Amino acid sequence: MRLAIFDLDNTLIAGDSDHGWGEFMVAQGMVDPVVYKRANDQFYADYERGEMDLQAYLNFSLEPLTRYTQEELSSLHQKFMQEVIAPIRLPQAEALLAKHRADGDYLLIITSTNGFITKPIAESLGVDDILATDAEIINDRYTGKMTGIPCFQDGKITRLHQWLETAADKGFDGDLTDCYFYSDSINDLPLMQEVPNPVAVDPDDALRQHAEQHGWPVISLRD
């Protein structure tokens, strides 16, 4: 069984779910509309440049989750899926997933965005599993802190190898031979260099340049 790995934001969907959740919270009156939006936009710009302070961003983005029960957050997320995620789904991305699925591949999303936001999206896309940055939950409430290794830059490699240690339990034999990884972001360069078949998908300028210099495939799922 071959492993097909996918980044999520701006790869399988035409936008960033993390930034989109921040904008959704602004629209719903969950956060200060001026202060939060300004910081959310700045963090996203830092991410696009490959310069984001992940810990500072997580402290910022996870804190609002502490104010709501799991039931309230679930209801909000359903609305988020309908209003924000549904319009940015990509038919060509879902066709790519379907092709790998038909080929018998194991489909894995690896994303730096926290699991609260991304796990329902991954489920809707029908992938086999997802690795995401994990938000800490104590007594059924989010604490505003992360737990474990963040799924970001080199952390994606670490998390993948941790996952591979238990992959047999998930129905995958742990073999990376002919493994694929699809991503749009220069932040994912470490993992792209780790796999036999890196594919740049609608890449940012830095990743496009690197892909072209190294003869990696460059594709679009938006054309």
49 vs 85, more confident: 85
Question: What average pLDDT does this structure show over 73-91?
Answer: 98
Q: What is the pLDDT of residues 38-76, one digit of tens each?
A: 999 999 999 888 889 988 999 999 999 999 999 999 999
Q: Which helix (H) or strand (E) holds 204?
A: none
| Chain mean position to CA 49 | 17
* C-beta of residue 216 within 8 angstroms of C-beta of residue 207: no
Question: What average pLDDT does this structure show over 9-17?
Answer: 97
Residue 215, sorted as left (phi over 0), alpha (psi -120 to 50) or beta, turns out to be left
Q: Which two tokens stand for residue 153?
A: 């830059």
Q: How confident is the model at residue 88 (pLDDT cuts 50, 70, 90)?
A: very high
- The residues that bridge with 180 in the sheet, in sequence order, are 4, 197
Q: Which residue has the tokens 């003869």?
A: 215
Q: What is the pLDDT of residues 139-189, one digit of tens each?
A: 999 999 999 999 999 999 999 999 999 887 877 777 788 999 999 999 999
Catalytic residue positions, numbered? 7, 9
User: pTM surpassing 0.85?
Assistant: yes
Give the three-class secondary structure for 31: coil
